[in-house]
Amino acid sequence: MTAQTAAAARRHVLDTTKDLTLAVVTATAVSVVALTAIARVEWPAFGSSNQLHALTTVGQFGAIAGLVLAGVLWRRGHRAVSKWLSLLFLATFTVVTVGMPLGATKLYLFGISVDQQFRTEYLTRFTDSPALHDMTYPDMPPFYPAGWFWIGGRLAALTGTSGWEMYKPWAIASLAIAVCASFILWNKMIRFEYALIVSTATAAVTLAYASTEPYGAIVTVLLPPVLVLGYSALRADRGAGWGAVMGTGVFLGFAALFYTLLTAFGALAITVAAAVVAMGRVRQNGWWPGVKEPVLRWLAIAAISIVIALVFWARISSPSPTLLWRRRPRHSTICPTRVPSCPSRCCNPPCWAVCV
């Protein structure tokens, strides 16, 4: 790598960091201002009035019109203004789509029912203490990755807000931040107009189908541009693309603190991409010269992500299998069977599931 190439790579990384910071600040500001304004009004319930339906539609239309304006300004050379307007209206679209229908309640989607019950419980756990504990049993390690819930709980403690009450604003704000950050990443790899279209479409689909699980939705929004970034890092020429390697590894590491299933999918996709790049180069350069570079980059991505993931997962140790039984009443730890004298007949996985 020449000195000029290295300097250009450093500038690119610095510019990306600045733009991501701008995205976080803009999305946070829009979320705080919009949700505060919505909360000051006594709205009718979403299901019993067309008022919130109409305001949500108007807000979405206004946000999309603002995004079109940003694209027009970009074509006319107003680059800085158009980039900021894109972030502003992407955040507005996200907040209006989720926050406006929930204007009449302090609860998030589905209230405190089904899975939202344990999610609210988990966030409340970290409102009470920053220590990594299970959502229900305070002396046990957490069952789920704590990243999203830990940040929300600490924000609730910092602002003096109840954990259950912080769930909704933190969910909406984190979604807005993820949507804006994904636009920045796309804009670094494809044309501005295309990045705007892809980011808006991704936001709309994610909000429609995954917004009930906000900690997974933010990973879902960011995963596509990161996978493209990772593929470009794996196929880059020797000495180039290491900034993309670091970025991909950092994302997968932090994703493991938020949602392990999507992290596993991302890691698998990067592994497949590395294999594809390696096989293509083997045909051109031979076995070792073709395999060495993509495998080295794949190992670097894996190492970076594992080091970051260990911040949470290294603290998790398998508890004693008798710990849970000691916490429960005796009658709830005995698996019913027709043959009490032979408990081994009840030691199949379905029965253990019933016991737990």
Domain assignment of residue 237, yes or no? yes
Q: Calculate ∠ Cα 261-263-266, nearest 5°.
A: 115
Count of structural domains within the chain = 1
Is pLDDT at 221 greater than 50 in this prediction?
yes
Residue-wise pLDDT for 128-162, tens only, equals 999 888 888 877 888 789 999 999 999 999 999 99
Categorize the per-residue pLDDT at 104 as very low, low, confident or very high, splitting at 50, 70 and 90: very high
Are 333 and 355 within 8 A, CB to CB?
Answer: yes
Domain assignment of residue 253, yes or no? yes
Domain assignment of residue 260, yes or no? yes
Residue with tokens 């190492």: 303
Domain assignment of residue 295, yes or no? yes
Domain assignment of residue 307, yes or no? yes
Domain assignment of residue 230, yes or no? yes
Q: How far apart are CA 126 and CA 149, in angstroms?
A: 7
Summarize the confidence of residues 278-291 as an average pLDDT. 80
Domain assignment of residue 148, yes or no? no
Residue with tokens 């293509």: 280
Candidate from 25-29, 45-49, 287-291, 330-334 with smallest mean pLDDT: 330-334
Q: How far apart are CA 76 and CA 159, in angstroms?
A: 43
Residue with tokens 């980011």: 199
Q: How far apart are CA 65 and CA 52, in angstroms?
A: 20
Token pair for 288 = 């070792």
**pLDDT at residue number 341:** 43
H-type alpha helices, the chain? 3-39, 51-75, 79-99, 115-128, 147-159, 163-187, 192-209, 214-234, 242-255, 260-285, 287-313, 323-327, 349-355
Categorize the per-residue pLDDT at 6 as very low, low, confident or very high, splitting at 50, 70 and 90: low
Phi, psi of 119 (to 5 degrees): -65, -45
Domain assignment of residue 231, yes or no? yes
Phi, psi of 110 (to 5 degrees): 70, 10
**pLDDT at residue number 345:** 39
Q: Calculate ∠ Cα 190-195-201, nearest 5°.
A: 140
Candidate from 37-41, 63-67, 286-290 with smallest mean pLDDT: 286-290
Task: Specify the amino acid at residue 278.
Answer: A
Residue-wise pLDDT for 340-356, tens only, equals 444 433 333 323 222 33
State the pTM of this model. Answer: 0.86
**pLDDT at residue number 352:** 24
Query: What domain range includes position 252?
Result: 223-317
